[in-house]
Amino acid sequence: MNIIHAKYMPMTQKIKFRFAPSPTGKVHIGNVRTAIITWIAARSMDGEFMLRIDDTDETRSKDEFTEALKVDLKWLGLNWDDYAHQRDRWDRYDELIQKLKDDGRLYPCFETPEQLELKRKSLLNRGLPPIYDRAALDLTEEQKAKYEAEGRKPHWRFKMNHTPIVWQDLVRGEVKFDGAAMSDPVLIREDGRPLYHLCSVIDDIDFKISHITRGEDHVSNTASHVQMFEALGATPPQFAHLPLISDADGGKLSKRLGSLSIEELRENEGIEPMAIISLLARLGTSDPIEAFTDKQPLIDTFDFAKFGRGTPKMDVREIERLNARIVHTLPYETVKDRPALQGVDEKFWNNVKANLSKVSDVTDWMHITQDTIKAEVDDADKDYIALAAQTLPEGEINDGTWGEWTSVLKEKSGRKGKELFMPLRQALTGMSHGPEMDKMIILLGRDRVLRRLQRTV
């Protein structure tokens, strides 16, 4: 028995990965994972990363989505070393399609969709797998001519060799398929347009792709692709099939999570790119998910062997938590030019960033420092606030003022804990939470602190 093994690429070949999206919509949190893992894998192996736009579906592919995709990838810091559009390569596809026809690996079929559906149902009713019966191979030239005279246009199937197909997957280990148990896939539609599968294989050959990262839902497609590589005289790349992610409850990716576009996360949610990368790069691996501000540690620790076979659960709230941790560490120099920080100096940023969930939240704290704020305290606390105004230490407020002030207030009022601190926070900020008060009163300054205290009594 002749067993087809998808062998590893020669060690001397240059490492080259590719991300090949179809520009039919915005890039979403659910499908950008492949781009992130592919980019990190390429960089971890000192290889190249190619962005290939799979836009053979001219009715659904839009240039605006391609441009939006590039904006998203650049924002994430996923730079590419090579770039191509499938729509520019029709001549090359036609050339190799003709070769496969000449070699007998592509054959015309004239069944209508209704006839194929009847065959499928008949096989299923008999408890058999719905594998195409290759009836088209028995058609005579006269029968084919008759169909064409009737106006029928053939679709073309790839003739699978009935031999075992084996490859060593970088995530799944050894993968085996029986070519005899697989249906001959349709590679060319009735309108003459080749489908994704064949164009993708031709591109992977021509652009010398050494590694392909994709979801595990493509495993059976990969089995047929392996034979397509062989039929075109090429060695298949190495494959890494990642488990598909689910929502936090273990179900199919929810509409809420799956519909979050990178553009929305960036522009409306205020998410940092590294929050997305920190989560998706390690989701489903044996490494802990941490808040990274730089991709290099993810590159240095990357290994496909760390990915498990189980379905990883993704909670969109984890992105928000990671985002907050990242924001808390951001130096002023990295954020000072953002619109939200206009008028914010380094001192202010360093004092409030530990309380921010996203960078744009800094505007809330800027509001607190303005004299227009309206703060109120309970009637029962007004005498206490009057005492606070009387005991505010003299001189410019510094790092020790808050401790000195509250110690005096504790002694004179008998208050402690929440009763000691909360009325002061409410009188000075109008809020019941926020930055540490020892830092906040420094930002406010003595005159403003005193005015706010006096205004509430």
Q: What is the pLDDT of residues 54-110, one digit of tens each?
A: 998 888 899 999 999 999 999 999 999 999 999 999 999 999 999 999 999 999 999
What is the average pLDDT across 423-433? 88
Q: What is the pLDDT of residue 340?
A: 92
Q: What is the pLDDT of residue 7?
A: 46
Provide the CATH topology of domain 247-335.
Glutamyl-tRNA Synthetase; domain 2 (1.10.1160)
Which parts of 134-249 are beta strand (E)? 155-158, 164-169, 173-178, 186-188, 211-215, 238-242, 246-247
What is the average pLDDT across 405-410? 94
Instruction: Quote the CA–CA distance of 72 and 397 in Å, as a whole number.
Output: 45
Cβ atoms of residues 197 and 228 within 8 Å: yes
Whether the pLDDT of residue 336 is over 80: the answer is yes
Q: What is the pLDDT of residues 209-254, one digit of tens each?
A: 999 999 999 999 999 999 999 999 999 999 999 998 887 766 555 4
Whether the pLDDT of residue 52 is over 80: the answer is yes
Whether the pLDDT of residue 3 is over 90: the answer is no
Strand order in 155-158's β-sheet?
106-109, 155-158, 186-188
Q: What is the pLDDT of residue 253?
A: 55
Q: What is the pLDDT of residue 365?
A: 83
Of 106-110, 246-250, 437-441, 444-448, where does mean pLDDT reach its minimum? Answer: 246-250
Q: Does domain 369-455 sit in CATH 3.40.120.10?
A: no
Q: What is the pLDDT of residue 12?
A: 59
Of 64-78, 279-293, 425-439, where does mean pLDDT reach its minimum? Answer: 425-439
Percent of the chain whose pLDDT exceeds 90: 76
- pTM of the predicted structure, to 2 decimals: 0.86
Instruction: Give the residue with greater pLDDT, 456 vs 299.
Output: 299
Helix (H) or strand (E) holding 262: helix 262-267
Spell out the residues 6+ positions from residue 365 whose beta carbon is closer than 8 angstroms to its own. Answer: 348, 352, 355, 356, 434, 435
Q: What is the pLDDT of residues 377-402, one digit of tens each?
A: 899 999 999 999 999 999 999 989 99
Q: What is the pLDDT of residue 252?
A: 58
- Residue ranges per structural domain of the chain: 247-335, 369-455
Cβ atoms of residues 45 and 11 within 8 Å: no
Q: Predicted confidence band at 374 (pLDDT cuts at 50, 70, 90)?
A: confident
DSSP state of 379: G
